[in-house]
Amino acid sequence: MSKLSRQQLIDLAVHSYFGNVDKKNMDEVLACMHEDIVVTIQTDHLSHSRIDGVRKMFETLFSTYKKTWHGDFEVTADEENQTVATRFNVTLEKPDGTFDPSMKNCNFFYVENGKFRRYYVFMDGVSVLP
């Protein structure tokens, strides 16, 4: 497969991935990833391997929060190296309607053949990705 353009890399991260995380569209979120994906929550020294491990991570996130919102993106995409760096704000609404403290997070994505091969998460505050 050819490399993604800069705009396609940005769309993969912001719209296909985060947009579907906020809609709790599990299949669409996982469709952004290779089967042997590795997701590392760097600030928590924790990794999730393969689609099944990442699915469990998102099942917990989706069941813990009524709503998630990722926005105010600042994105850098490197077309030659197929990488995307995102800085964004996060709000998390609990089932009772209260909110966890807002966070400013960063993700660093490594793309191969149009999907995430691995990515790193840096969270501002307590990790919500067990």
Residue appearing with tokens 């296909």: 16
Stretches in the chain below the pLDDT threshold 70: 1
Buried b (16+ CB within 10 A) or exposed e, 9-44: bbbbbbebbbebbeebeeeebbebbbeebbbbbebe
Segment 115-124, tens digit of pLDDT: 999 999 999 8
Instruction: In whole angstroms, give the CA distance from residue 80 to residue 8.
Output: 13
Tokens found for residue 26: 């599990």
Q: What is the pLDDT of residue 1?
A: 63
Instruction: Tell me which amino acid residue 98 is.
Output: T
Q: What is the pLDDT of residue 130?
A: 74
Full set of structural domains in the chain with CATH = 6-122 (3.10.450.50)
